[in-house]
Amino acid sequence: MPRSIEDDFSKMLVRTGALQFGMFTLSGGRISPYYLDLRVIPSFPDAFHTCSDLLAKNARSIEGIDKIGGIPTGGLPWASVLAYALAKPLVYTRKDIKLHGREKSVEGILTPGDKVLLIDDVITTGKNILTALQSIRGEGGVVENALVLLDRQEGGEQHLLKEGVKLHSVARISTVAQKLLDMDAISKGQYEELAGVNEKTE
């Protein structure tokens, strides 16, 4: 059987150390038995190149994109390389509005009516994307799609749909967990930790 995108992506998570097991506190305050640190991937040029290509392939299937929108901080490197690959203008949101200068929540040139594809590395509940969404829409931009490398399948997709945004992802954690188990890259217990979180939130 030929290797799939999910096979290569799943192996890469282990090889780069992006997938870690333990007890981690996520940004929303919840405790998780695993953590995905995709910020390490740009430190591995081959993995960075592969993931960038996968994002670009997904983005090209989305119609009506005027600009690429990066979400701090995890989404910024991916948004930058994607804007370059697709020859699209780049904008990005700020976590905090500047208290000097123009006090902008969105950096770059955003014209009312521009359709912005939001980019982040991972989605859990969707909080970061929803925050960026409000900033973009507040400046007159239009957001109908968001693209991430990995969907943890913990309600983010449903939360975005309520705001009229379709989620696109390179991979989903349920698929990654099964691939890694099939390749003997993780133990049965680790598989259950990955799948268990998903089952509790679906």
pLDDT, residue 202, reads: 40
Residue 7 scores a pLDDT above 90? no
Residue 2 has φ and ψ, to the nearest 5°, of -65, 150
Write out the residue range of the structural domain in which residue 131 sits.
Answer: 5-201
pLDDT, residue 32, reads: 87
pLDDT, residue 96, reads: 65
Pairing of strands 166-172, 142-151: parallel
Pairing of strands 19-25, 142-151: unpaired
pLDDT digits (tens, 9 = 90+) for 159-178: 999 999 999 999 999 999 99
CATH number for the domain including 103?
3.40.50.2020
DSSP annotation of 166 reads E
Q: How many residues does the chain have?
A: 202
pLDDT digits (tens, 9 = 90+) for 16-63: 999 998 888 877 677 888 999 999 999 999 999 999 999 999 999 999
pLDDT digits (tens, 9 = 90+) for 122-155: 999 999 999 999 999 999 999 999 999 999 999 9
pLDDT, residue 194, reads: 86
- Look at residue 153 and give its three-state secondary structure: coil
Give the E-state strand segments of 29-176 in sequence order. Answer: 31-36, 67-70, 90-93, 106-107, 115-123, 142-151, 166-172
pLDDT digits (tens, 9 = 90+) for 72-84: 999 999 999 999 9
- Alpha-carbon distance of 76 to 188, in angstroms, equals 34
Start-to-end C-alpha separation, the chain: 30
pLDDT digits (tens, 9 = 90+) for 89-131: 999 998 765 545 556 789 999 999 999 999 999 999 999 999 9
Q: Are 73 and 92 in contact (CB under 8 A)?
A: no
Residue 183 scores a pLDDT above 60? yes
- Alpha-carbon distance of 156 to 150, in angstroms, equals 11
When divided into structural domains, the chain yields a total of 1
Residue 1 scores a pLDDT above 50? no
- Alpha-carbon distance of 147 to 58, in angstroms, equals 8
